[in-house]
Structure 1
């Protein structure tokens, strides 16, 4: 069975957002931004983040209540902010600038 048609038919955050980035929001928080081409895409990605809040929390080892999700329609950005675990600069921290955190959210499906 050719799964490429199935994969292509299932939009994800990575295939829908124009650009994704993650960065520090201070030493204790990280923020992930999904820049979109339309308000509809922004809403769809923010809704997917809301639906997958528990999964996102598990990915980043934080409490789901600490995962903050924003839908900024005026600038067409869906945003996730969450505590950094471990905090920036700690001995077991591996991404000092938080620049790779967005990769974990690329495969979240929009439904």
Structure 2
């Protein structure tokens, strides 16, 4: 199953002018536990999807919010010449098709 088929929210936003935060929020504890147990989401995945070194990625799972969060550097500062997404709001797209091994019922 792809992330876009199971996640409640997948979004990105500025975390200041030099970083972008990517948020994945699952609909319930069962979905969160299945995704977390799959091991799919970690700093290596975000590094690979966004073309950074793994050491540049800040990643965390936060069960109380049923969420995964990663912060990545921006290649161009927000609003600088050449920036095509001043709010960082369109950077989550590569996550949508990430495959999740799924053994639960579709939520």
Using the size of structure 2 for normalisation, the TM-score is 0.79
Mapped to 2, the partners of 1:57 and 1:87 lie a distance apart of 19
- The alignment status of 1:53 with 2:44, answered yes or no, reads yes
Matching residue of 1:4? none
Matching residue of 1:72? 62
> Which residue of 72, 75, 92 maps to 1:82?
72
Q: Deviations over 1:41-100 (max 9, x none)?
A: 2341683221x725x324433222111221110011111111111221221211000000
Where 2:4 maps in the other structure, the secondary structure is helix
Where 1:74 maps in the other structure, the secondary structure is helix
Give the 4+ runs in structure 1 shifted more than 4 A.
none
Matching residue of 1:41? 31
Structure whose residues are more often helix by fraction: 1
Q: Which moved more, 1:86-95 or 1:38-47?
A: 38-47
Mapped to 1, the partners of 2:70 and 2:92 lie a distance apart of 10
For the aligned residue pairs, the C-alpha RMSD in angstroms reads: 2.0
Mapped to 2, the partners of 1:108 and 1:89 lie a distance apart of 29
Unaligned runs of 5+ in 1: 1-10
Mapped to 1, the partners of 2:2 and 2:19 lie a distance apart of 25
Q: Deviations over 1:1-27 (max 9, x none)?
A: xxxxxxxxxx12111101111100001
